[in-house]
Amino acid sequence: MNKKGVQVPKRFLLLLFVPMLFIGSQAASVERSGAPQTVAHPSELYFSSIPANPNVYHKVAVFADPQLKKASGDLLPNTPFTIEQLFVNDQEQAVFKIADKGYVLADSSAIFSDVVQETQEKKQEMWLKPGFKVYDQPLVNGAKEKNTTLAPYTKVTALRTAKTLRDEFVEIEGQGWVAKTFVTEKDNRMEKVQELLNSKYNSPSYGIYVKQLATGNTAGINPQKEMYSASVTKLPYLYYVQEQLNKKAISPTTTYKYIPEVNHFKGSYEPEGSGSLSKTPDGKDYSVQELEDKIAKESDNVGHNILNYYVTHQSDQDFQKTLDKIAKKHWDVEKRDASAEMAGNVMEAVYQQNGSIIEALSSTKFDHQRIARDLPVKVVHKIGDAYDFKHDVAIVYTNSPYVIAIFTDHSDYETISKISKDVYEVLK
């Protein structure tokens, strides 16, 4: 023994040769995949072997001497360190020699083997949540954060999962590892849509309703605020006509005569408004298909009046009952007050019909403005204008189609187009 140097413990490396240091009745072992075996002491739990990739649960004191008398620093959580030796000191304590640092008590309640416990192959599409970080491996001691171009609310391909003592992680194809709490199997883009609407369009002048048809997720600004809906009220009539076509109660070639009475009943539109049909009764017969096209493509007032007069019998009880059911709220077709959500519900019902009216509404004289203007995909929509109210309600055919209804008061077509484009950029 060198009296001037550090005293070498008499039981140096004893644990490497003695499998059970303490009394057998007090010993216990814990087995985990990738975790070391431990041996119980009457007062504390010691390691009996060197743990792989060690880490500490909390700050652990480091000593300059094997007898753990002279403090020289600390081990901190998630800071890599190397264990060189495991031995028993003169006080019969299990001690780790830490490379370039000193000595620490080999206490398994403070130190643990920070390794992957298990992995499972599981390839699937998932969506990222905000706040994620990407690592070069499942988060164990020594893992490094990676730079990434990934963004929240985007779809990624998960290849497998891995569990560590700290958390569960998912490997993202071509990127790295993300904590499982930051991915979801459900399309979460509507959360981003809501954030967008809140930050840019949260105004009492807007009624906005967006619904992703595959997931049922919705977002909006004042979606239930009712405004004068103008020609958007023609949309439920188109739905009703399509229902009668589906039931074979009428056919596309069924004709109706343009007589004076069609422009003079409660709920009829002024014939002088939009559309190319004669503003005065001409006594001609018009087919259902022709009238349907005029209403869808031109928002023709006279065409609407004719179909309303003959097919819905001037908005009779059956029509009103049908409308209230699909709008999910009473829609007064004489006052024409409705909300963006009500209009969106009706457009969703039109989508579910998947009838000829879909094609008519996808090629209108209004496609160069409002919701459809800047979108490079199929858009089925119905506009409405009157006084200071400008509206549009649509189905946008992305890979996951969605309904969007934008009602505005004292706004303009440009704003509707901007709202539409912003939403599309998230849901495209």
pLDDT per residue as tens digits for the range 393-428: 999 999 999 999 999 999 999 999 999 999 999 999
Distance CA 162, CA 170 (A): 6
> Strands 176-179 and 111-113, how do they pair?
unpaired
Q: What is the pLDDT of residue 204?
A: 97
Question: Which helix or strand (DSSP H or E) is residue 421 part of?
Answer: helix 413-427
Of 44-48, 94-98, 298-302, which gets the smallest average pLDDT? 44-48
pLDDT digits (tens, 9 = 90+) for 251-292: 999 999 999 999 999 889 999 999 999 999 999 999 999 999
Residue 395 backbone class (left: φ over 0; alpha: ψ -120 to 50; beta: rest) = beta
Query: Has residue 19 got a pLDDT over 50?
Result: no
At how many degrees (to 10) do helices 234-246 and 301-310 cross?
Answer: 50
Query: Has residue 8 got a pLDDT over 90?
Result: no
For 16-58, list the strands marked E by DSSP.
38-40, 45-47, 54-56
Q: What is the pLDDT of residue 208?
A: 98
Which residues make Cβ contacts (< 8 Å) with residue 382, sequence separation at least 6? Answer: 231, 232, 234, 235, 238, 296, 299, 347, 361, 392, 393, 394
Cα atoms in the 13 Å half-sphere on the side-chain side of 130: 5
Distance CA 237, CA 257 (A): 18
Which residue type, as a one-letter code, is found at position 212?
Answer: Q
Query: Has residue 182 got a pLDDT over 80?
Result: yes
Mean pLDDT value of segment 144-170: 96
**More confident of the two residues 17 and 84:** 84
Mean pLDDT value of segment 339-364: 97
Whether the CB-CB separation of 357 and 241 falls below 8 Å is answered with yes
- In degrees to the nearest 10, what's the CA dihedral of 105, 106, 109, 112? 130
Which residue type, as a one-letter code, is found at position 170?
Answer: V
Q: What is the pLDDT of residue 45?
A: 80
Strand, helix or coil at 16? helix
For residue 113, give the nearest of 185, 66, 48 by alpha carbon.
48
Query: Has residue 38 got a pLDDT over 60?
Result: no
Domains of the chain: 14-113 (no CATH), 118-184 (2.30.30.170), 189-427 (3.40.710.10)
pTM: 0.82
Query: Has residue 383 got a pLDDT over 70?
Result: yes
Query: 313: how many CB neighbours lie within 10 A of its CB?
Result: 12
pLDDT band at 384 (very low <50, low <70, confident <90, very high): very high
Q: What is the pLDDT of residue 166?
A: 85
Whether the CB-CB separation of 366 and 383 falls below 8 Å is answered with yes
pLDDT band at 35 (very low <50, low <70, confident <90, very high): very low
> Average per-residue pLDDT in the chain?
90
Query: Has residue 14 got a pLDDT over 80?
Result: no
pLDDT digits (tens, 9 = 90+) for 194-236: 999 999 999 999 999 999 999 999 999 999 999 999 999 999 9
Which residues on neighbouring strands pair with residue 206, listed in sequence order? 408
Query: Has residue 152 got a pLDDT over 70?
Result: yes
pLDDT band at 44 (very low <50, low <70, confident <90, very high): low
Token pair listed for 331: 């829609």
Query: Has residue 381 got a pLDDT over 60?
Result: yes
Q: What are the C-alpha distances in Å from 153 to residues 174, 205, 377?
A: 18, 28, 21
Q: What is the pLDDT of residue 29?
A: 30
Q: What is the pLDDT of residue 1?
A: 41
For 364-401, list the strands marked E by DSSP.
379-386, 389-396
